[in-house]
């Protein structure tokens, strides 16, 4: 059987390489189903569900699942977000969506999310909103990863529910306490676009004479971190 890893981008490889050994995974918004195929090929899980809200991606997913002879181990399901998940899943993957949308999907099914052993989340943007929501709702960040494709830096966060108390400072939702404390080599490149975006927001606030000092503080703290990288 051909190994699918050669077809996978750095972003998809990062996702597949950071799923813990488990019984069943759900890949929410599966697209081509490359990640669940990789997980089955590498013995990370026993079975998988490839889900999407649209029929089109599932048609492509089914073709790939058949191509790699995994029809008996990967099931496709059409549905919205965590609505498709049952109680037998111990890992869910949500990747390739914006952080705000991912937050809304988890928020709408928060109890289901709390019963999952590992939530592997790869947000395309707005990770600070995702981190803040998850930490405020009892989830713990197990680890974070960064990878690069061209000029783009992608972030992955592994969450688990521990009913813990959130003690993050506001700027840490942007900087990631885990990435900073572990001196991630891509941290500077990861934070620079965030600093630029905050600077743009601040410039707009100056023009309207409506300055948010909290945003200035966050921007200054991120600059301090980048200077220390």
Higher pLDDT, 210 or 158: 158
Same domain, 175 and 81: no
> Which pLDDT score, from 0 to 100, does residue 109 have?
96
pLDDT over 80 at 88, yes or no: no
CA proximity to 88, closest of 26, 28, 18: 26
For the ranges 5-9, 149-153, 172-176, 208-212, which has the lowest average pLDDT?
Answer: 208-212
Same domain, 158 and 176: no
For residue range 61-84, list pLDDT tens digits in order: 999 999 999 999 999 999 999 999
Q: What angle do CA 13, 19, 21 make, to 5 degrees?
A: 130
Same domain, 152 and 207: no
Same domain, 114 and 178: no
Predicted model pTM: 0.96
Confidence of residue 187 (pLDDT cuts 50, 70, 90): very high
> Which pLDDT score, from 0 to 100, does residue 204 have?
86
Strand order in the sheet with 139-149: 74-78, 47-52, 24-28, 91-97, 118-123, 152-161, 139-149
Same domain, 116 and 172: no
Mean of pLDDT over the chain: 95
Given a contact cutoff of 8 angstroms between Cβ atoms, the answer to whether 192 and 174 are in contact is: no
Range of the domain at 173: 168-229
For residue range 135-173, list pLDDT tens digits in order: 999 999 999 999 999 999 999 999 999 999 999 999 999
pLDDT over 70 at 1, yes or no: no
Cα gap 97→77, rounded to integer Å:
18
Same domain, 198 and 107: no
Instruction: Please count the structural domains in the chain.
Output: 2
Cα gap 101→105, rounded to integer Å:
6
């Amino acid at each position: 059987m051909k190994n699918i890893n050669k077809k996978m981008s750095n972003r998809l490889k990062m996702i597949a390489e950071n799923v813990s050994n488990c019984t069943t995974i759900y890949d929410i918004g599966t697209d081509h189903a490359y990640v669940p195929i990789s997980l089955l090929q590498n013995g990370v899980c026993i079975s998988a569900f490839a889900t999407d809200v649209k029929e089109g991606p599932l048609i492509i997913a089914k073709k790939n699942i058949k191509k790699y002879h995994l029809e008996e181990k990967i099931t496709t399901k059409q549905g919205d977000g965590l609505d498709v998940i049952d109680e037998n899943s111990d890992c869910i993957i949500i990747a390739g969506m914006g952080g705000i949308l991912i937050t809304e999907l988890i928020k709408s099914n928060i109890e289901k999310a709390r019963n999952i052993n590992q939530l592997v989340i790869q947000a395309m943007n707005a990770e600070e909103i995702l981190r803040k929501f998850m930490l405020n709702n009892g989830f713990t960040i197990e680890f974070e990863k960064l990878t690069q494709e061209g000029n783009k830096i992608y972030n992955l966060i592994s969450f688990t529910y521990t009913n813990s108390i959130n003690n993050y400072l506001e700027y840490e939702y942007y900087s990631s306490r885990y990435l900073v404390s572990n001196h991630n080599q891509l941290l500077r490149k990861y934070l620079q676009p965030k600093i630029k975006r905050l600077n743009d927001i601040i410039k707009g606030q100056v023009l309207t004479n409506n300055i948010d000092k909290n945003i200035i503080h966050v921007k200054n703290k991120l600059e301090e971190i980048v200077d220390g990288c």
